[in-house]
Chains A and B, each alone.
Chain A
Amino acid sequence: MKDGMDTDAEGYLTADGRKIGGVLMEMRNITLRFGGVVAIKDISFDIREGEIRAIIGPNGAGKSSMLNVINGFYHPQEGEVWFRGQKRGSVRPYDVARMGIARTFQNIALFKGMSTLDNIMTGRLTMTKTGLLSQALWWGKAEAEETYHREKAEKIIDFLEIQHIRKTPVGRLPYGLQKRVELGRALAAEPKLLLMGVVMDLSDRVVVMDYGRKIGDGTPDEVRANPEVINAYLGVAHD
C-alpha cells in the first residue's frame, strides 16, 4: 500500500480489537470509461476478510461505478480484479453472486410481487442443486433441499425479527421493513463479501474517491485529516 495504514499479509487488529484477516478482494489499477468520460481512473485498493471497508466521496465520484465493477455489471477497460487469490476473468453479475458477493442497494431492489419469505429464499438460489424435472415432480431430493433452505431462511427471519411479515408481499411493506428484507436476502446468500449501498460510520478502513480518482485510503481518522479529502468535500480556499 502506498498510503494509509500499515497492513501486512496476515492482517491487523482494529481499534476495538477485532482480528482482520488476509486480502479477500483486490482491485488493481482499475480504469473504467464510458466513451470519453472517465468514471474510474487507475484505482487500486484491497478488502480484507472480516473488514468493514467503506468507499466514500462526493456525488458523481464514481462510488456506484466501483460497486458495479465489483458486481460484474461494468467491465473495466484496464486493471484487474482479484478475488480470494484468483484473477477474475470476464464475468456476469450472476457469476459474481456465485463467487459469494452479495449486495443491497441505496434505493431498495426487492421483488415486489413476492412475499418476504420468497424474497429471502431467492438469496439461496445460487445454492440450489436439484434440476427442473425433479422440482416439477417434487421428488424427495427437491423437497428436502427446499426444506433445508427454508430452515436457513427462517434463521435469518428470526435474526432480523421479521417473522410477522413472512408471507406479506414486500410491495406492501414500509421502507424500513423493506430495507431489512433486502438485508435478509443478501445474508441468505451467505456471502464472503457484502456490498451495501448505505453510508455507515462503522468502517475499519475508508477509500475516498473524487472525480473517478482515489484521493485517500486509511482509517476514518486518517481520512478525516487528509487535506485532499477536506478539499473534495468542502472545496479549496482561495485567498
Chain B
Amino acid sequence: MDAQGTSQGPILPPAGVVHGPLGWLRANLFSTPFNSLLTVLCLYLLWITVPPLINWAIIDATVSGTDRTACAGASGACWTFVKMRFGQFIYGLYPIEERWRVNVVFAVGILLVLAALSPRVPGKLWSGGAFVFVFPVLAYVLLGGGLGLPVVETRLWGGLMLTLVVATTATVVSLPLGIILALARSSRMPIVKGTAVVFIEVVRGVPMITVLFMASVMLPLFLPPGMNFDKLMRALIGISLFASAYMAEVIRGGLQAIPRGQIEAAQALGLNYTRTMGLIVLPQALKLVIPGIVNSFISLFKDTTLVAIIGLFDLLGMVQTASTNPEWLGSSVEGYVFAAFVFGCFCLAMSRYSQALERRLETGHRRR
C-alpha cells in the first residue's frame, strides 16, 4: 500500500496508542502491575547503589600524590595506587628502559588484528597470515631479546602483557589444533579417531589448575636436574592444549550440524576430502559455531588469571602482589576494580566483534 496516504488525507495513527517517551515507558516498564512493581524495585536498587558508587569512585576519590599519605583521610577510592603502579599492571616487572619493546609488539599486534578483523581493509590473507606466522616470531624476539637486544627473562614478564601473551598464544594455537582434533574425532580411521577421543577426554576431564600444576610442579621432577624448561613456556603449552580440547568439541558440534547431503554433493562433484572439508563443510560449520568459539575465547581469556597459582604475575596477580607492598597495604580494592575494568573491556570487545561477524556472515539460516 502506498505510505503517502490517499486522496482523503494523511493516514492517522490508530486511536488509543500513546507515542513518544511516555508511550515507551508505558509499553516497556509499566505494562502490567507486576512489571510496574519490578520497575520500581529496580529503580530503588539503582538509587541505593549507584550514587554511593559514584561518590566512592569519582567524587571522593584521590588521584594526586605519589604514596598512600595522599589518600589519608579521604573516604573515596585511592586511585593513586593504580596511577603509581600502572606501569607494573601493564608490563609486570619488565625492565623500565626496555618497555618500548612491549609497546612495539602491542602496536604491531593491534594493527594486524584490526587489519585482519575489519571488513573494510583488503588483503585478509596477508594480514591474517602475518598475525599467525610472522607476528609470534617478532613478538618472541622483541619481548624475549636476542638479535642484539638485551635478554629479558620470562620471569620478569607480567601484568596485562603476560595476560595477552598467554591468551593470544592459546587462541592462535587452539583454533587450528581444535579444527584438526574435531576432524580427527569425526574421522572413520580408528587410530586417528581413538587418539583424538583419548586426548580430548583426558584433557577435558581434568581441571585447568591440575594441568598447570602438572606443568609447573611435576614436570621438573621428571626432567634431569639442571634441565629446566622455561616456566612460562610450560604454562603456555599446558593452556594451549587445554584450550584446544575444548575448541575441538565446539567445532565438532558445528560439523554435526552440517547435513550429510552437503558432503555427498561435494563428493558427487568430485572433490577430495581436503576440498570437501575446506570448501564445503568447515566454512558452514565454523560460521554456525561462532558464538561457541568466542565463548571459549572469552573464558580462556579469563582463565589466564589461573597462572598466578604457579607464580606468574598476570594482570590480576600483579595487582595482588602490588597491594602487598607495605607502602600500599589496604589498597587492593582499587586494584581489583581496575583489573575488572580491563578484563571487562577486552571481553566486551570480543563479544561485540563476534556479533558483528555473525551479522556479516548471515545467510538466512538464523531463526528469528
A and B together in one complex: no
